[in-house]
A and B are shown apart, each in its own frame.
Chain A
């Protein structure tokens, strides 16, 4: 059994960690959080130069052609550093959708541009309150044009193109949904950034008015493609969450070692120790579930739907748990703007909703386990 990343993959993780430690310190996150920039352009350029944006994109499309295990270790570091760049939207959602369902021409146009950092992509799925479901998609496609409103769209206001889920039928079935690719710079779409709990990554509203769009993948198969994209993104975002969990735990541990109260380090009090031990338990369970997700993703295993849901749930819980208790360990200082605890708290709660809520994924996992048992 070799249920671990290879030495090369671990080296890549170390390389990414060193790079991000230098190029993405907390003050870089704060610059975006405080509205001084809509994303960190220098960092984005750097990530492209390092080959991180296209790590899982085949060489023929301008990527490094490494694979998804390599992308997983980079995602973990992106999460640990809270990188304020459109990585998730571009790499986990748009690039994955293109690789799964794009035509040769679409891949030739957009994948090299993603790898080089020239194009930001996103997935326009949600239409307000609710979770992923074919019924929730109202935006209409007719005669190659789209009309409707999508929100939240991650990084929608800075994206160059979007994969859009649209209604092409009214049978009440999954086959009513088709995917389209829209060049957001070509006109016909109004983009508006909306305030969200984690301003270090933007969320937007996109309004489509008879906007020209080209199909992505076969008509009426949008939902099945989307499900696969969401599963793949679930594993990758889970690695971001695990990276964030570990960092929040370390911050709490370090503070508990340094902070003296009642004449002793607060980390010597069992109440504080047990809080931190429980954070370690959550983070460890999440990491192990994520490794299984990584294995399923990288081998395209039939277990991926179940593995992805488990990784998603476990990592969501862990990051929320670690980030909130990191604040608790810090006491009053943890609630100041000045300390970085809230950056992790914000990110953990934004990521928890990014592909649909925790309860949606819980529901999904149980459905998938039942199907497997019935089979």
Chain B
């Protein structure tokens, strides 16, 4: 048992470090280091443009989408090399967030189901950041129940006409292409009538509207489709096979291995170490210490769970299911930590003006943004179902809509 690289891994790390040292946009180092959890912006530059420049440089140097084949813009690297790259890229990895959905979900789906011509045309541009891709799955009527989606695609000559609405689309406003799942047959049970496409986001009839979130920010979009035409050549997989295609997209979870999940623990530990209350330093209070210790072992537990998965990759093995606990643990932790930090501040915990609030208002911001961590990318409840069914082998829930034609499934609760 050790934390050391193998000789090959050490050589790869040294090469990556050297390249990053010579090429990273160091002018943004300080700002990126200080960037708060979750969201970032730069004072004097557009984060997407800076990200694109970094991604392009990486692609030219052979460091973009490392685990992809060289023909499609990657490096043909092993999974462990990708993890090492992420570790070395460090804060500059924050610049890659606009490309992550493309790299992690859209790209692998095109790779699995696209034509050779499409792969050679689209994937290198995705890898180099020239094109940004988004994923158009969730709908107002289909969040956790993705297969309940209602956006229609109807055959029209050698193409399809799409009408409907998607929601919670990250980056739709700056994306060039989208991976779109639609309903092509409402007369069969819901999982059977779906078909996957990709489309140019500049197509006529595509309208992107930002969503104002509960925390006042705008990070997601609604996307409306009005008679949008998509050529049949942009279909991925067979007509009616969209559900299986979407599983490929959603199963590409290995990309998250080795990524550090924000939990809020380092922040509250530092906060409690310095906050003076009427009874002395917060960290000297027994109840506070007990809470901190519980969060500390959750944070270290996540860290070492990730190390176990990385070790499996290092040995060329498939990581076990342990990594599935990450977001489930981190989401609640962050919400609880934010609320407790504010409680420690007493009445003044209500302020969230950074100039007035304790700790620059970071816990107030965390409180308001943390509900999304427990929802986005699979709600806590869906994640528990996944652990119970795929890890523990418990039976799936009884699905009352399983064999019912989609257009016969009730759409309203009361009345």
Contact = CB atoms under 8 A, between A and B. Distances in A.
Contacts of A269: 397
A363 B135 CA distance: 46
Contact of A3 (B302, B308, B398): B308
A202 to B, nearest CB: 30
B391 interface: yes
A313 interface: yes
Contacts of B396: 268
Contact of B325 (A2, A280, A359, A369): A280
A190 interface: no
A289 B269 CA distance: 19
Interface stretch (B56-64, B311-319, B345-353, B360-368): B311-319
Contact of B293 (A5, A273, A362): A362
A253 interface: yes
B308 A4 contact: yes
A221 to B, nearest CB: 28
A274 B307 contact: no
A1 interface: yes
A281 B304 contact: no
Interface stretch (B226-234, B282-290, B336-344): B282-290
Contacts of A281: 325, 328-329, 387
A314 B394 contact: no
A310 B300 CA distance: 8
Contact of B315 (A2, A253, A265, A365): A2
Nearest to B303: A288
Taking residues whose C-beta sits less than 8 angstroms from the other chain, chain A's interface range is 35 or more
A313 B314 contact: no
**Residue from A257, A265, A288, A365 whose CB has the most chain B CB atoms within 10 Å:** A288
Given A285-B302, A291-B308, A1 B4 contact: yes
Interface in A1-25: 1-6
Interface stretch (A30-38, A112-120, A292-300): A292-300
A370 interface: yes
A285 B305 contact: yes
B269 A369 contact: yes
Given A284-B305, A291-B304, A253 B395 contact: no
Contacts of A285: 297-298, 301-302, 305, 325, 329
B1 interface: yes
A338 B288 CA distance: 41
B381 A274 contact: yes
A76 to B, nearest CB: 14
Contact of B394 (A257, A295, A363): A257
A91 B3 CA distance: 28
Contacts of A284: 301, 305, 322, 325
Contacts of A361: 293
Contacts, number: 160
B86 interface: no
B395 A267 contact: yes
**Residue from B387, B389, B397 whose CB has the most chain A CB atoms within 10 Å:** B387
B125 interface: no
B294 interface: yes
Given A2-B1, A2-B311, A3-B310, A253 B387 contact: no
B384 interface: yes
A1 B394 contact: no
A369 B296 contact: yes
A250 to B, nearest CB: 9
B335 to A, nearest CB: 16
B392 interface: yes
B376 interface: no
A317 B325 CA distance: 16
Interface in B361-415: 381, 383-385, 387-389, 391-398
Contacts of B21: none
A372 to B, nearest CB: 11
B398 A264 contact: yes
B301 A314 contact: yes
Contacts of B290: 359, 362-363
Contacts of B156: none
A373 B304 CA distance: 20
A264 B301 CA distance: 35
A304 to B, nearest CB: 14
**Residue from B312, B388, B398 whose CB has the most chain A CB atoms within 10 Å:** B388
A44 B314 CA distance: 39
A298 B303 CA distance: 20
16 contacts: A1-B310, A2-B1, A3-B310, A69-B1, A267-B394, A277-B388, A281-B325, A284-B305, A285-B305, A288-B304, A291-B304, A291-B308, A313-B294, A313-B297, A365-B297, A366-B296
Top 10 A-B residue pairs of the complex, sorted by shortest distance between their CB atoms: A285-B301, A362-B293, A273-B388, A288-B304, A277-B384, A267-B394, A277-B387, A314-B297, A288-B305, A3-B307
Given A3-B2, A274-B385, 19 more contacts: A3-B304, A5-B1, A69-B1, A249-B392, A268-B395, A268-B397, A280-B388, A281-B325, A284-B305, A285-B298, A291-B304, A295-B1, A295-B3, A298-B1, A310-B300, A313-B294, A314-B300, A365-B297, A370-B273
